[in-house]
Structure formats: structure tokens, C-alpha cells
Structure 1
Amino acid sequence: MPDYRAPGVFIEEAPVARAIAAVPRSTCLFLGPVRADPAAPRGALPLLDSAGAFAALHGGDAGPASGGSVKAHLLAHAVRAYFAEGGERLYVLPVTAAEGGAPQLADYARALATAAVPDEVGVLAAPGASAWCSDIGGLHRLLADAADEARARRFAVLDAPPDATPAQAAALADALDAGRAALYYPWVASAGADGVRRLLPPSGFVCGLYARVERERGLHRAPAERLHTAAGLAYPLDRAQQEVLNPRRVNCIRQFPGRGILVHGARTLSSSPEWKYVSLRRFVDQIELSVATGLPWVAFEPNGPALWQRVRSAVGDFLHAQWRAGALQGAKPDQAMFVRCDAATMTQQDLDEGRLVCLAGVALVKPGEFTRLRWSWRTA
């Protein structure tokens, strides 16, 4: 404290913890064939904010895609479904078949390897690919690996083939163990701008639902709600079939009387109980990205108690906001989280090498997937 010797008003500048904001994770990247368009921009992928923006760049959702062998322009229809279900920000990565016809696994791999995927992309999908790709399992692995790439923290939304049976969908899920991917089944019927009823890959609808749930309810909420634009299903599932598919990590889309068509599953393809649910994996990724993005100012600050206090305050305030939003368990903040950043979290070697170590923990809220109601009656 300064030594004040005469009366007066004194101003002291004190460092404050800069607020950490939640990083949105609903921006989506679709991969697939588009119409040849010489006017299409090269270099950075353009951000699309509507189906009209996609149509202006690549053509509308009627007619065949490039190559001529794809009967319906499924990617364009998926783009329309994405925005209709609540999506707002979309990138489209064109995929061209090296040998003509419909693109295959190697074509999708080449497109991902040569493109600079924007950092803001949080969700990946290849709508329609399961209708023409000969190696569906390989395509699923490619997307899951791209989502799981170091520091990317993205999530892959996968489709089963349009004519897949429940057993075939389950086999696809069994073949892939991935914490940042989820499989949806079956395909969804929808009427396009021309009024024609078509079967479309579920990933377009589901990615839009992801964006809607994140915006309206928070990323910690399970993306399992009604599809507003669905008009039917390729394979009407019943409860008995879902009781088989759900434990095998297939997210079923079902029609319920009076409720419409719902995404009625929210499981990842991970065999680890820790990462069973889509909402948990994506929410934890958001926390980690938000903290990493919100603390760049730490890099060249003196690594001492004053800085540690500012880091604790910044991270603690961010996690406290998540608790107030209902994303964390606990009746009190100290039951929901802890943040440590002090001499006990760092060794002398850490300090000598310029490393600041912050240890944090959160108590996550899991979806109420199975709700049991116990009733009792008393007779006279």
C-alpha cells in the first residue's frame, strides 16, 4: 500500500482479470460434390449464412451434382435442411472425384488434406456421401479423425447409407470407437423448394439442430429435439428396435404421435463411459477452447502470485457463469468446480521454463436419458 501523508483523493491502477467468453461451436463444415462453377472464389472458403448464399455460389438444390452420376443434389438439400433447422454459419468444402462419377474416400481425404479448415468450425459432416461412397466405414473414420485432430476439438456427424437396415447401422457403429463423432439413423424425408418429397441424409438436419440447441439452450444440453422440417423417415423405428440400437451407440430418429419426428438419441461413438454423451464431449471441448482463447494475455506476464490470482479469477468467473446457466452440478459453486493456480500446481522447473499451470475441475450434468417415476397408492 502507498504511504499517504496528506488528505486527498488518490487513484490506484490495479490489474483485473479479463473476462473469458464461451467460444461458439455450432459453425459447420459440409464436404461434398458441388456443381462446376468457374466463378467460385479460390483460396479461403466463403462463409455462408443461408441456403440462398449456397445457391448463388454453387447452384440450387434441384438437379444432379458434378460428375453426373449422383441422381439428386443431396449436398444442396442438406444445406437447405441445415439452415431450416436453425443453422446460421456454414462452410462448404467442394469434393471432386478424381476419376469422374461420385467422389470416393480418397477424394474426401484429399479435400480435407488440402483445405484450410477455419478455426471456428466446430462440426463436420459429409451429407450424401453414404449414398455413393463404397467405403462408408473408412469415410466415418476419416471424419472422426479430422474432428479429433490435435487442438481442433471438432465433432463429426455421421450418416448411415440410405437403404441401411437397423442391423447394418449397428454394425457401422460397432466398427468405430470415437469420442468426437456420432452416428444418426435413418434418413429423413423432406419436401424441397420444388415440393418434391425426397429422402435426405440426417446429418444436414442434425447439424442445424446442434446449432439451434446451442444458441437457445446451451451446449451442455443434449441435442435431442424435434426436427421442424422433417416429413417422414426412410425406416420407421419402434421402441423395441431402439432398445437394441441405443446401447450400440446409434442415435435413432423416430416419429412419435402428437410430437412429430424427433432426434431421440444423443450418444457419441465412444466406448468410454466418460464420453458417452454428445453434450458432455462438446461442452468440455467448449470449456477448454474458451479458456485457451481467453487467456492469451498471460503469455508474457511475470509468472508470480499476482498473475496466478488473475488467472484463478478469470477461470473461476467463467466456470461460475456455466454453473449459473445450469451446466454444472452442485447446489453451491464449490460443489460444481474448483480452480487452482498457485505454487502447489507448479514445480520450480515449471517456473524456470516459463510454464504456468492452472488446475481446474468441473462436475458435469449428464442427460436424464432414463427417467424413472415411482408411484405409490394408498387404499382406504
Structure 2
Amino acid sequence: MPSQNPPGVFVTELPSGVRTITGASTSVPAFLGYTKASANDDPSAAPEPFTDAERVVPQKIRSWQEFAARYSVQGIAKELADATEPAAIHTLQRCLPLAEAVYGFFANGGSTCYVVGFTRPQSAVSPEELKGNTDARTGLAALETVPEVTMVAVPSLWDMTADASAEKEAPAPDHAAGVGRMAQVVKHCTEQRNRLAILDPPPGLTPAEAAAFADTLGSRDSDDAAFTALYYPWITVPGVDAVERTVPPCGHVAGVWARTDAERGVFKAPANQNLRGALKLQTVLTDDQHGELNAKGVNCLRLFPDRGLLVWGARTRSTTRDWRYLNVRRLVSYLADSVHQSSTWAVFEPNDERLWATLRHSVSSFLTDQWRQGALVGRTPDEAFYVICDDTNNTPKTIDDGKVICDIGVAPVRPAEFVHFTITQIAGQSGEAPKAT
């Protein structure tokens, strides 16, 4: 401002110094699956299709139209319609589960996803290939550099367990190999802590076989189980090439998660929601069958009269009280990720009461907002959470070590999974006519 000013009013804007926490992403899945090599793509297409080198690294996709153009879905459909050799047919059909999953995600309310492709659909994918390489940005390892991913699904997983066959019938999936690849996906999610694996059992299982399969996925008391969601059965869809086919439900379910997050919040269980873009279920369940699967930690898709196909389960595979429900696990991951991403400013700040007070204020304000939205249980914020960052947990030793400790406790809401009504019949008045007086 000039040193000499005419008479008037002058305004100077100063930063408030208040640090706020912004909510992290919750609705971005990563899909891993087979995609056709780009040799026969039309270079004049808009947007231009990805090259082979681009298809094997994570690519951000914002619409079904973008995916279809970038990964040559029309080209796959045309080649499949013209193919006559069983080997060529099986190879091309292996590219479609990924496309169906991405279509189902956007059809059910998703807005953004990442895709990691494998461009040799004629061959099985080894555990090393699925694990990938961080430097080359391939496979699951590539997703370590994409922090906004919060769900991981592999719609082509069961095709990845065997090479394409030259016989008329497609090869049967290798269940043991599939369980091993599932374990890799879950291990990745557990290590990252901010994402969950959406898994599908093998196709064609009966309810009893699906329950038995769930038992092969490892201990339900482990940390891994809390980052795992298993959905059954597979679904029949109209087909991106207008040919009906049965596909795993992981892409459609990811869209339901995203839709629930947008409409209600990550704290709302992603269940009792319509499954858009699905024609029918591969297996229609009874209540007794559903009860058995629910006890195994399997989330079921159900058909209800006048309501259509619904997602009717919101559990992780965990048996522990803290992590039994999907929305609780996802809410805590969301809170931790939000605080982590929005508190990097504190690194290298003077470690004193002013820093502790600023951290307490920013975290408390963020959690108060979550409580007001209904994410936390309690009549008051004090009942819903606590934030401790003072000299009780920041001792001279921790300060000398360069550490700032902020202890946070939250009371997340849990879904009303079982709603019980007790009906009592009240005896009516006597049926005798009143006597005249």
C-alpha cells in the first residue's frame, strides 16, 4: 500500500492461520483385467486408443465412453462377432469381464476409476505378473503410487488362472491358483490401509459350494479379513456388445459403493441398494441359504418382488467386533487418510504447545463435522470422539525424538443389520352387550 493515501477506507487481507482437514477420496476403484493388444486399433478414433505400453500402467478413466474408446471395446466386439476359431473366441471373451465391470461401475453411480491392463489374454497371469513392478508401474505394485484408489477389483481373476483353450469349451478356473491371487490383492490392500478388495468367488458355485469356498480364503480373525469383501452370486448383464453374459459383480458393486458415498456418505453401509445394469442372478437364494452365507462373511445379491436386484450385505470377512462391517472399516480408513493427507504442514514445525493446539483444533473441527453428518455415535461431540495432543502424550523424550503424537478415538455408527419387531396381541373388550340400567 502506498505510504500516502487519499482519505477513505482501506482493507488488508491477512491469512487466518487456521488449518483445516479436507476429506480424502472414498469412491475411486482400480480394476485389473485383460484387455486386447492395440495392434488393430483405429488410430483415428477419438480419444485415441491407448498403446500397449499405456494399457499396462494405471490409467484414470472418467466415463464409460472414454474407456470404450481408449480400450477399443467396439473393436473387441467386432472381432468376436467375426471369430470362428475357439482359441480366438476364448481369447477375445476374456477381455470382456473388465469392460463389463467398468460399465457396471459407471452405470451404478461411479464417476472415476483406474484401469490396469494385461495385454496377453491368451495366457494366464502369474503371481509375479499380478504383483507387478513399482518401477515399471505394472500390476498391483503400480497402485501404490495412486493414493486416491480406495477399492481394488480384479474382474478377470478367474480367467487369469489358466491359458485360453483351443477346445470348444473354455478352460475351468483353477480354484487354488485363484485363491492365491486373491491373497495377493488382499495383501496389497492391507498394506496400503486405505482401500478394500472386492472379491468374487468362482463362477457357477452353488450356495453350499460358495460357503465352502469362503472357508478357503484364510483366517477371519486376521487383519487381512478386515480389508476383504466377498460378493455372491455372479450376475447376468445385457453385454457391452449386446450379447448377454454372466460376469462377476465386483464392478457393479464398486458403483453401488460410490453411489452410496455420494448420496449418504462413507459411513452408510453400501447395502439395500439396487444393482443397476443387471438382468438376473446366476443363483437365486433362499433366506436359509443367505443366512448361512452371511455367517461366513459373504455379501449376497438378492432378488425381491417389486424391488428388483439388491445388494443385501455389508460385511467384511472379519469376525472381530471392530471391523465386521464394511462402512466401519471404510469410515476409519477415510478418517485416517484425511487426517494424514491434510496434516503434512506440521512436519518440521516447532514442536510446542502452539503446534499441539493447532492439531487438536483442526482434527476436532473435522471430526465434529463428521459427527454432525451422522458418521459418529453420540449425543454430543465429546461422546462421539476424543483428540489428545498435549504434554500427556508428547513427553520430553518424544519431543527429543522429533515426534508429535496425536491420539484420536472415534465411535463409528454401525448398520441395523437385523431389525426385530415384537408383536403382542392385546385382548379386546368383552363381546357382551352392555346391560340397561
1:121 aligns with 2:121: no
Which region of structure 1 is more displaced relative to structure 2, 224-233 or 280-289? 224-233
Aligned-partner residue type, residue 18 of structure 2: A
Provide closer, same or farther for how the CA distance between residues 67 and 338 of structure 1 changes in structure 2, counting only shifts above 3 A. Answer: farther
Rounded to whole Å, the distance in 1 between the matches of 2:27 and 2:238 is 25
Q: CA deviation at 1:94?
A: 0.9
Q: Distance in 2 between matches of 1:68 and 1:103?
A: 19
SS at match of 1:115: helix
The TM-score, its normalising length taken from structure 2, stands at 0.79
8 Å CA contact retained: 2:59, 2:116 = no
Q: 1:95 to 1:68 in 2, by over 3 A?
A: farther
Q: 2:135 aligned with 1:101, yes or no?
A: no
Deviation track 1:146-181 (CA, whole Å, cap 9, x = no partner) reads: 11114x421100001121122222223222332111
Pick aligned residue for 2:312 from 264, 284, 292: 264
Correspondences of 1:306-321 after superposition (within 5 Å)? 306-321=354-369
Paired residue type of 1:122: T
Shift of 1:273: 2.2
Residue 283 (structure 1) shift: 0.7
Structure 1: distance between partners of 2:72 and 2:302: 32
CA distance 1:362–1:195, change in 2 (3 Å): same
Query: Bigger shift: 269-278 or 22-31?
Result: 269-278
**Structure 1 counterpart of 2:216, from 166, 170, 175:** 175
Distance in 2 (CA, whole Å) between partners of 1:343 and 1:310 is 14
Structure 1 position 379, deviation (Å): 2.0
TM-superposition CA deviations, 1:186-217 (whole Å, max 9, x none): 00111124433221111011011111111111
Conservation of the 8 A alpha-carbon contact between 1:68 and 1:101 = no
Partner SS state of residue 158, structure 2: helix
Pick from 35, 43, 63 the counterpart of residue 50 of structure 1. 63
1:223: how far off?
0.8
Hey, what does 1:139 align to over in structure 2?
181
- Distance in 2, matches of 1:52 and 1:281, equals 32
Larger radius of gyration: 2
Structure 1 contact 69–102 (Cα < 8 Å) conserved: no
Q: Which residue pairs with 1:299 in the alignment?
A: 347
One-letter amino acid of the structure 2 residue matched with residue 85 of structure 1: N
RMSD: 2.5
CA 1:361/1:119 → structure 2, altered by over 3 Å: closer, same or farther? same
Q: Does 1:112 align with 2:152?
A: no
Instruction: Name the SS of the counterpart of 1:275 in structure 2.
Output: coil
Question: Which position in structure 2 is the counterpart of 1:69?
Answer: 90
Compared CA separation, residues 227 and 12, structure 1 to 2 (3 A): closer
Aligned residue number for residue 165 of structure 1: 206
Mapping of residues 362-373 of structure 1, within 5 Å: 362-373=410-421
- Segments of structure 2 that go 5 or more residues without pairing to the other structure are 1-11, 40-48, 133-137, 162-173, 429-437
SS in 2 for 1:179: helix
1:328, 1:336 within 8 Å by CA — same for their partners in 2?
yes
Aligned-pair CA distance for 1:113: 5.3
- Flag the 1:40–1:349 CA change in 2: closer, same or farther, 3 A: same
1:89 matched to which residue of 2? 112
1:106: how far off? 4.2
Taking structure 1 as reference, are residues 369 and 113 closer, same or farther at Cα in structure 2, changes over 3 Å only? closer
CA change 1:234–1:95 in 2 (3 A) is same
**Retained in 2: the 8 A contact 1:96–1:107?**
no
2:315 is paired with a residue whose SS is coil
How many residues of Structure 1 are paired with residues of Structure 2 in the alignment?
370
Secondary structure of the equivalent of 1:175?
A: helix
- CA deviations on 1:218-270 (whole Å, 9 max, x unpaired) are 00111111112221000111111001110101111010001110111111112
Equivalent residues of 1:131, 1:161 under 8 A apart: no
Aligned CA distance change for structure 1 residues 255 and 105 (closer, same or farther; 3 Å)? farther
Q: Secondary structure at the match of 1:144?
A: helix
Query: Which 4+ stretches in 1 moved above 6 angstroms?
Result: 11-14
- Identity over the aligned pairs, expressed in percent? 37
In the TM superposition, residue 55 of structure 1 has moved relative to its aligned partner by 1.3
CA contact (8 A) 2:31 2:115 kept: yes
Contact kept? 1:23, 1:289, Cα under 8 Å: yes
AA matched with 2:154 = A
Tell which deviates more after alignment, 309-318 or 176-185: 176-185
Code of the residue aligned with 1:242 in structure 2: it is H
Structure 1 gap segments, 5+ residues each: 1-10
